[in-house]
Structure 1
Amino acid sequence: MRALRRLAVLLASVLCACSPGDNSDRAPAPGQLDTTRLATVRFATDWRAQAEQGGFYQAVATGEYRKRGLDVQIVQGGPGVNVPQLLASGAVELGMGSNSFIALNLAQEEIPVKAVAAFFQKDPQVLIAHPDPGLRSLADLKGRPILLADASVTAFWVWLKAKYGFSDDQVRKYNFNPAPFLADKRVVQQGYVTSEPYTLEKQGGVAPRVFLLADEGYPGYANMVLAPDRLIAGNPALVKAFVEASAQGWRDYLHGDPSAGDALILKHNPEMTQDLLDQAREKMRRYGLVESGEAETYGLGAMSDARWKQFFEVASSQGVYPKSLDFSRAYTLQFVGHPEAP
């Protein structure tokens, strides 16, 4: 009996030490999350696990989210995953926005979801051509057949038509198959600077000519974090913690030891390979996808009213959106550094 009483005392002391009720003397400051109770956050990505999501995977793998009171569960994207729909229905708390059109589409459709951070200052979208001394700029692609996915025709293609006078009769359907490009040296195809050029070089044996649209003036953000208005208003500390942890995850993934993030990516997506991850990370650094533009001055994830206005004016001038649309409903600068901050 004496042994049982000692065991009971020991169990009681352990339970008291672990009880949330005994942490009242460590209550979080106003606007801060209670890190003694992890908040579950489901974060939906826009595609299968890859290096372009590396900062988020790194923050999970190294515990950056947990340090800030978040239990982040990444919901892997794919061809059948609609991130805005998941957010609007409440199936996930946060999601990834591939490009600025997604946030503006939400504003136009009056869906209460906003961009709260942009971790790619440059959209990684590229046009890829065969090596040709006559191709010196994007303007030289006018008249050539261009392989585009359906979503791209109503996205960056709008900007290309406005700036370079490209025409819709150049468009050919892109089914994410490199064979049509490799078979015809006049054909141009879309891609991500971090992915398709490397794959085409391995398969075709020739380094393709790559035009990064962002370096030609394309003003869109990419790799954005999207949050429902109800979460922004009801739990801003959670959103802030997620953005801050993600920023640290991106710093570590690009300049620290990325092995933890890579291991988690490879676990989630067995079709991914280490060489693809390594070259993509090098491209993100080389082209300044994450660390350029406003992020250089205001920190990772930065956005600005001026940049959103510039993007909206390009899209609305081509009839994608009515010029009366209040584009500011597409985003908030509440959680990131920005030029308009006092």
Structure 2
Amino acid sequence: MHRSLQKKIFKALYLTISLTIISCHSYAAEEIIFGTDWRAQAEHGGFYQAQALGFYEELGLEVKIKQGGPQVNHSQQLVSGKIDFGMAPNSFIPLNFLEQSIPIIAIAAFFQRDPAVLIAHKSQNYSSLTDLKYKKIMISPDTRIGFWRFLRVRFGFNNQQIKPYTFNLAPFLANEELIQQGYLTSEPFLIKQTGIQPSVFLLADSGYNSYAGIVQCSEALIQENPALVTAFINASIKGWYSFLYDDPSPAFRLISADNPEMDRRLLEFAHQIMVNERLIDNEDSRVNGIGTMNLRRWKAFYETMVQDALYSPDLNISKVFTNQFASQSDAFKERQKKLRKGNQIDR
């Protein structure tokens, strides 16, 4: 073969291989590990919906949803870099990071209203949280350093009321005088299935203004790869809109695959509660979109906990969260456009 022709062939081959490598690199999905706050359940529905419908993939992300649970510390894994994003169940976790000067920040809160509840037997005729003062209440160790502090400050509850809760309904079902913690989207349904009628007290209706379903990441990730953070939050928001207002079945299937113990009827119940009680999409989120937070609420929550001496009184609360990624997201704008179009058709 003529040397010049050989050189041209090698050059063309090299260029082809190089372009192929560049092309593959350009379209390779970025792998993300997202740690939730519990085993797969309806309260994670928007993330599973985004995964099921390819919303993450559309934005170049390969997201692995890692389940939480009673023996899983995703906060620790987030700090150590073993996961990229982590879900906090309440506003205490981000504030704890701020108090300890750990550079982890809240970037979206998917539950505008925390679904935490206290549950009593209807036969006891309690009408409000005030009636539960001095009664025996089963709570977990995490709750003792969580919303129990709110109940102490606001309603005068005391630690002598506490009985251990191990996420087993049996003690409650067997003793009419017992009260226990729960989630509005879960335990009331399970209790009713046994034939017992519960009285359910949603803490959010009594001044408990914690966010829930809070997604956090490191400040380093925000600085190094803001595009990745934007993509993950935008796809997640899109997933939540779809989960709430479209067919949630794709998410249900993935949730059941990850957690086979999850009953389809419970998933449907939880979905209905999330929509009807506006736990995720309420008057606040309808201004700037699902996932957004506001400083006023963070300050109010923080100041309540300062009364219980949980935090120092001089924290800069504006550093606990950012709306850089959730506020006015593309997913929110897409949702607004869809609603406007629907209104025009209705007219």
**Is 2:30 aligned against 1:39?**
yes
Mapped to 1, the partners of 2:17 and 2:120 lie a distance apart of 64
Distance in 2 (alpha carbons) for counterparts of 1:246 and 1:160: 32
Q: Residue 34 of structure 2: SS of its match in structure 1?
A: strand
Q: Is the 8 A contact 2:192 2:198 kept in 1?
A: yes
Specify whether residues 159 and 35 from structure 1 end up closer, same or farther in structure 2 by C-alpha distance, changes over 3 A only: farther
The number of equivalent residue pairs is 317
Large movers: runs of 4+ above 6 Å:
none
Determine whether 1:114 maps to 2:130: no
Question: Which of 234, 242, 245 is 1:244 aligned to?
Answer: 234
1:254 maps to which residue? 244
- Calculate the TM-score normalised by the size of structure 1: 0.87
Aligned identity (percent) is 44
> 2:296 maps to what in 1?
306
Structure-2 separation of matches of 1:115 and 1:318: 23
Q: CA RMSD in A?
A: 2.3
Rounded to whole Å, the distance in 2 between the matches of 1:311 and 1:23 is 49
The 5-angstrom pairing of residues 281-300 of structure 1 reads: 281-300=271-290
Tell me the secondary structure at the aligned position of residue 190 of structure 1: strand
Partners of 1:309 and 1:301 lie apart in 2 by 18
Residue 334 (1) aligns with residue 327 (2): no
Matched residue, 2:202: 212
Deviation at 1:129, TM superposition (A): 0.8
Matched ranges for 1:166-181 at <5 A: 166-181=157-172
Is 1:325 aligned with 2:319?
no
How many angstroms apart in 1 are the aligned matches of 2:223 and 2:322?
A: 11
**Cα shift at 1:137:** 1.5
- Which amino acid counterpart does residue 131 of structure 1 have in structure 2? K
Which amino acid counterpart does residue 295 of structure 1 have in structure 2? S
Counterpart in 2 of 1:29?
Answer: none
Distance 1:16 1:53 in 2: 44
Distance 1:295 1:16, change over 3 A: farther
Deviation at 1:288? Answer: 1.0
Give the distance between the partners of 2:307 and 2:323, measured in 1 at CA. 25
- Could you tell me how far 1:319 is from its partner in structure 2? 0.7
Q: 1:248 to 1:233 in 2, by over 3 A?
A: same
The residue aligned with 2:305 is 315
Quick one: which of 61, 82, 91 aligns to 1:91?
82
Deviations 1:190-231 (Å, cap 9, x if unpaired)?
Answer: 00011111111112x022111111122111000011111100
Mapped to 1, the partners of 2:124 and 2:79 lie a distance apart of 48
What SS does the aligned partner of 2:272 have?
helix
- Of the three residues 118, 121, 138, the one matched with 1:130 is 121
Change (3 A) 1:227 1:142: same
- The residue matched to 1:99 in structure 2 has which SS? coil
2:45 is equivalent to residue 54 of structure 1: yes
CA distance in 2, matches of 1:41, 1:247: 16
CA displacement at 1:106 relative to structure 2: 1.1
**Separation in structure 2 between the aligned mates of residue 225 and residue 171 of structure 1, nearest angstrom:** 30
CA distance in 2, matches of 1:247, 1:99: 18
Corresponding residue of 1:71:
62
2:96 to 72, 93, 105: 105
Distance 1:297 1:332 in 2: 16
Distance in 2 separating the partners of 1:236 and 1:266? 32
Counterpart residue identity of residue 232, structure 1: I
Q: Map Cα deviations across residues 261-305 of structure 1 (whole Å, 9 max, x no partner).
A: 111111111111211111111111121111114212211001011
Q: State the SS of the aligned residue for 2:157.
A: coil
Q: Secondary structure at the match of 2:89?
A: strand
Alignment counterpart, residue 225 of structure 1, candidates 209, 212, 215: 215
